[in-house]
Copies of this chain bind each other. A is one copy, B any other.
Amino acid sequence: MTGTSLDGIDVAIVDFNYNGNEFTFKELFFETYNYSDKIKSIILEIIGSTGQIYNISQLNFALSKIYAESVKSALTASGIDKSQITAIGMHGQTLWHQPYTKKFAEMFVSSTLQIGNISALNVLTEIPVIGDFRSADIAAGGQGAPLVPVFDYHFLRSQSENTICLNIGGIANITYLPKGCSKADVIGFDTGPGNMLIDIAAKKYFDKNYDSNGDIARSGKLDNEILDLLMNIDFINKPYPKSTGRETFNVMFVNNYFGDNTLPEDILNTLTHYTAKSIAANIINSGFEVDKVVVSGGGAKNSYLMELIQSYLPQAKVIDSMQLGVGIDSKEAVCFAFLALLNILGLNGNLPSVTGAKFETILGVTAGK
């Protein structure tokens, strides 16, 4: 128990008995362990910024309401009855991802923060909910990402072909599955930008949410000089394991590299090249033998991006995941349903070879039974 008075952490060890009707208890031990002044002042500072913390608290529950509506809509649209659903796997909305330890309140801390309240979604849907899949891996010393490789291992590995599973969402990430691999052989990491920079530029210069089919980029010219600069940033050339997010690849990133004298379509062309080349560079620099690249995520629908990836990886066969029965758009959602299943079965979900965790662990917390 830690109360509003911030005086410390009350730890009671209690022996309860229940005869099916009446409870009794015996207090075996009690002590209060003080909060450090540093932690106390951080908490007070956060609570003091009322506007922001109010927003986060409300968003946490607003998301659960929206998620619950989405689940209900999906059940109605599919004609599947709620009683047939074992559980919901809820990734939640990432607000921060800090995969590397940083000094914080005189400790070395790494963390990740996904919101959308798990308990509220359970109450609103009356379906058990499993969420917060990344935290256990972070606590085990891992990066909490990527988590998709365990899905790739179970459903996309091949005995005869060295396979890369490439997901191009906002961020691009790969899973490397050497032919005939075991779980411990799997490698996976973020390669850098997926659709994020392309989408930002499409919005900024053409007021479009994305560059449909890569048509705008295709009409522009590559700026080789800027591409070289972009390829030189730390993250692209850092060896795996690694993960990244909106903290690095954002609108400021685009603004930093492109001035007013580059044509908008050339910016899109260069960013599409950058996305393709940074993916390929990560594969080549890691020394992976590749026979097949299985692409999922929105980027798989950008035919120009797909062509460029193929051109940067001429030795491999670049296909979209639907050709192997895994939906391009649905893959990640299916993966988090799978991670929920692993939790229910009591099976570990993280791959230490991928996340850098010190040990395997069950991922997720559960609301409802």
Contacts and interface: CB of A to CB of B under 8 A. Distances in A.
A74 to B, nearest CB: 4
A123 to B, nearest CB: 4
Q: Is the interface of A mostly helix, strand, loop or mixed?
A: mixed
A30 B135 CA distance: 26
A163 interface: no
A60 interface: yes
Contacts of A164: none
Interface in A62-107: 62-67, 69-71, 73-75, 77-78, 80, 85, 91-98, 102, 104-105, 107
Contacts of A22: 154
A298 B4 CA distance: 12
A349 B31 CA distance: 25
Contacts of A124: 139
B59 A92 contact: no
Given A39-B66, A139-B117, A31 B246 contact: no
A16 B53 CA distance: 39
A104 B62 contact: yes
A49 B194 CA distance: 23
Given A30-B329, A77-B31, A345-B18, A123 B4 contact: no
B65 A338 contact: no
Taking each of A2, A39, A62, which has the highest tally of chain B beta carbons within 10 Å of its own beta carbon? A2
A185 B264 CA distance: 69
Interface residues of A, number: 127
Contact of A25 (B13, B62, B155): B155
A56 B46 CA distance: 7
B47 A96 contact: yes
A169 B111 contact: no
A155 to B, nearest CB: 7
A70 B34 CA distance: 9
A160 to B, nearest CB: 18
Contact of A49 (B52, B78, B113): B52
Interface in A21-36: 22-23, 25, 27-33, 35-36
B120 A338 contact: no
A191 interface: no
Nearest to A209: B7
Contacts of A181: none
Nearest to A59: B42
A14 interface: yes
Contacts of A71: 11
Given A31-B77, A50-B247, A199 B117 contact: no
Interface of A: 1-5, 7, 9-14, 16, 18, 22-23, 25, 27-33, 35-36, 39, 42-43, 45-47, 49-50, 52-67, 69-71, 73-75, 77-78, 80, 85, 91-98, 102, 104-105, 107, 109-113, 116-120, 122-124, 132, 135-136, 138-140, 154-155, 169-171, 194-196, 199, 209, 245-247, 298, 327, 329-330, 332-338, 341, 345-346, 361-369
Q: Which 6 pairs show the lowest CB-CB distances between chains A and B?
A: A29-B78, A120-B139, A5-B170, A57-B96, A123-B139, A12-B333
Given A4-B170, A7-B298, A13-B85, 5 more contacts: A1-B336, A4-B169, A9-B70, A10-B329, A32-B329
18 contacts: A1-B336, A2-B63, A3-B91, A9-B66, A13-B80, A16-B338, A22-B154, A27-B327, A27-B334, A29-B74, A29-B80, A30-B333, A57-B97, A57-B98, A57-B113, A59-B105, A62-B107, A122-B139
